[in-house]
A and B are shown apart, each in its own frame.
Chain A
Amino acid sequence: MTQIISLIQAAVVFGTVILFGAVGEILAEKSGNLNLGVPGIMYLGGIAGLIASFLYEGNAANPLPGVAVAITLLAAFVAAMLGGLIYAVLTITLRANQNVTGLTLTIFGGGFANLFGGTLNKMAGGVGQISVALTSGAFRTTIPFLSGLGAVGKILFSYGFMAYLAVALAFLVSWFLNKTSVGLNLRSVGENPATADAAGISVTKYKYLATCIGAGISGLGGLYYTMDYIKGTWSTDGSIEKLGWLAVALVIFATWKPRRSIWGAYLFGALFWLFFYIPGLTRSSQEIFKMLPYVVTLFVLIMVALRRKREDQPPRSLGVAYFREER
Chain B
Amino acid sequence: MSKQKSASHEPFVRMSKRDGLPLWKSLGVRLIGLTLALIVCAVIIYALTKLNPLRVYAAMVKGAFGTNKRVWVTIRDIMMLLCIAVGLAPAFKMRFWNIGAEGQILVGGLAAAACMIYLGKSMPTIALLVVMFIFSMLAGGVWGTIPAIFKAKWNANETLFTLMMNYIAIQLTSFFVAKWENPFGSNTVGIINQMTKAGWFPTVFGQMYTLNVIIVMILAVLMYLYLRYSKQGYEIAVVGESENTARYAAINVRSVIIRTMAISGAICGIAGFIAVAGASHTISTSTAGGRGFTAIIVAWLAQFNTFIMVGISALLVFLQKGAIEIASQFDLNDFVSEMITGIILFFILGSEFFINYKIRFRGGKKEAGK
- Collect the chain B residues with CB atoms within 8 Å of residue A118's CB: 332-333, 335
Check A90 against B346 for contact (C-beta < 8 Å): yes
Q: Mark A282-315, 1 if CB is under 8 A from B, else 0.
A: 1111111011001101100110111000000010
**Selected contact of A34 from candidates B159, B175, B336, CB within 8 Å:** B159
Shortest A115–chain B CB gap in Å is: 4
- Collect the chain A residues with CB atoms within 8 Å of residue B121's CB: none
Check B353 against A107 for contact (C-beta < 8 Å): no
Assuming the contacts A95-B357, A108-B342, asked whether A287 and B174 have C-beta atoms less than 8 A apart, the reply is yes
**Selected contact of A108 from candidates B296, B343, B352, B356, CB within 8 Å:** B343
A288 to B, closest residue via Cβ = B175
Check A90 against B171 for contact (C-beta < 8 Å): no
Assuming the contacts A90-B346, A249-B164, asked whether A96 and B335 have C-beta atoms less than 8 A apart, the reply is no
Contact residues, B81-103 vs A (CB, 8 A): 97, 99
Check B16 against A99 for contact (C-beta < 8 Å): no
- Collect the chain B residues with CB atoms within 8 Å of residue A100's CB: 296-297, 300-301, 349
Number of interface residues of B (CB under 8 A): 54
Contact residues, A89-132 vs B (CB, 8 A): 89-90, 94-97, 99-101, 103-115, 118-119
B156 to A, closest residue via Cβ = A305
B175 to A, closest residue via Cβ = A287
Shortest B115–chain A CB gap in Å is: 19
A239 at the B interface (CB under 8 A): no
Q: Mark B172-205, 1 if CB is under 8 A from A, else 0.
A: 1011101100000001000000000000000000
- Collect the chain B residues with CB atoms within 8 Å of residue A294's CB: 164, 167-168, 171
- Collect the chain A residues with CB atoms within 8 Å of residue B341's CB: 107-108, 111
**Selected contact of B157 from candidates A101, A252, A284, A306, CB within 8 Å:** A252
Main secondary structure of the interface of B (DSSP, over half): helix
Check B338 against A288 for contact (C-beta < 8 Å): no
- Collect the chain A residues with CB atoms within 8 Å of residue B332's CB: 115, 118-119
A99 to B341: give the CA distance in the assembly, Å.
Answer: 16
Q: Mark B272-296, 1 if CB is under 8 A from A, else 0.
A: 0000000000000000001001101
Assuming the contacts A100-B297, A104-B342, A326-B17, asked whether A301 and B337 have C-beta atoms less than 8 A apart, the reply is no
Please classify how large the interface on chain A is, using the bins under 10, 10 to 19, 20 to 34, 35 or more. Answer: 35 or more
A288 to B172: give the CA distance in the assembly, Å.
Answer: 7
Shortest A205–chain B CB gap in Å is: 14
B323 to A, closest residue via Cβ = A111
A326 to B349: give the CA distance in the assembly, Å.
Answer: 20
B350 at the A interface (CB under 8 A): yes
- Collect the chain B residues with CB atoms within 8 Å of residue A285's CB: 175
Check A305 against B154 for contact (C-beta < 8 Å): yes
A90 to B179: give the CA distance in the assembly, Å.
Answer: 45
Contact residues, A67-104 vs B (CB, 8 A): 86, 89-90, 94-97, 99-101, 103-104
B68 at the A interface (CB under 8 A): no
**Selected contact of B294 from candidates A107, A112, A114, A287, CB within 8 Å:** A107
Check B171 against A287 for contact (C-beta < 8 Å): yes
Check B150 against A302 for contact (C-beta < 8 Å): yes
Check A114 against B15 for contact (C-beta < 8 Å): no
Shortest B343–chain A CB gap in Å is: 7
Check A115 against B342 for contact (C-beta < 8 Å): no
Assuming the contacts A115-B336, A301-B160, asked whether A306 and B350 have C-beta atoms less than 8 A apart, the reply is no
Check A119 against B155 for contact (C-beta < 8 Å): no
Check A96 against B171 for contact (C-beta < 8 Å): no
Check B335 against A115 for contact (C-beta < 8 Å): yes
A105 to B163: give the CA distance in the assembly, Å.
Answer: 16
A290 to B, closest residue via Cβ = B171
**Selected contact of A111 from candidates B99, B166, B168, B339, CB within 8 Å:** B339
**Chain B interface (Cβ < 8 Å from any Cβ of A):** 15-17, 48, 97, 99, 150, 154-157, 159-161, 163-168, 171-172, 174-176, 178-179, 187, 290, 293-294, 296-297, 300-301, 332-333, 335-343, 345-346, 349-350, 352-353, 356-357
* Contacts A89-B350, A236-B333, A298-B165 supplied; 9 other A-B pairs, CB < 8 Å: A34-B159, A95-B357, A100-B300, A287-B171, A291-B171, A298-B161, A301-B156, A301-B160, A306-B154
Closest 7 CB pairs of A and B: A108-B342, A111-B338, A111-B339, A284-B178, A305-B156, A114-B335, A118-B333
25 A-B contact pairs sorted by A residue (CB < 8 Å) = A36-B99, A96-B350, A96-B352, A103-B296, A104-B342, A104-B345, A107-B294, A108-B342, A111-B339, A111-B342, A114-B335, A115-B336, A236-B333, A249-B160, A283-B178, A287-B171, A294-B168, A295-B164, A301-B157, A301-B160, A301-B164, A305-B154, A305-B155, A314-B157, A325-B17
**Chain A interface (Cβ < 8 Å from any Cβ of B):** 34, 36, 86, 89-90, 94-97, 99-101, 103-115, 118-119, 236, 242, 245, 248-249, 252, 282-288, 290-291, 294-295, 297-298, 301-302, 304-306, 314, 319, 325-326
